[in-house]
A = this chain, B = another copy of it.
Amino acid sequence: MESRSYNCFFQLATDIIGGKWKSMVLWALKKDVKRNGELKKLIPNISQKMLTQQLRELEGAGIVERIVYPVIPPKVEYKLTKSGEKLIPILEQLHDWGKEYAKNHDIKIVKDANCIIE
CB closest residue in chain B, given A30: B10
Within the oligomer, what is the number of copies of this chain?
2
A28 and B118 alpha carbons, distance in the complex (Å): 32
A101 pairs with B8, CB closer than 8 A: no
Contact status of A11 and B101, CB under 8 A, knowing A90-B93, A110-B6: no
A94 pairs with B10, CB closer than 8 A: yes
A116 pairs with B24, CB closer than 8 A: no
Determine the chain B residues whose CB is within 8 A of the CB of A105 once the complex forms: 62
Most buried by B among A3, A9, A16, A110: A9
Please tell me the size bucket of the interface on A.
Answer: 35 or more
- CB-CB contacts of A1-31 with B at 8 A, as 1s and 0s? 0010111111111101111100110010000
CB closest residue in chain B, given A82: B104
Q: Per a CB cutoff under 8 Å, which of B3, B10, B111 touches A24?
A: B10
A residues sitting closer than 8 Å to B (CB atoms) are 3, 5-14, 16-20, 23-24, 27, 44, 62, 83, 86-87, 89-91, 93-102, 104-105, 107-112, 115-118
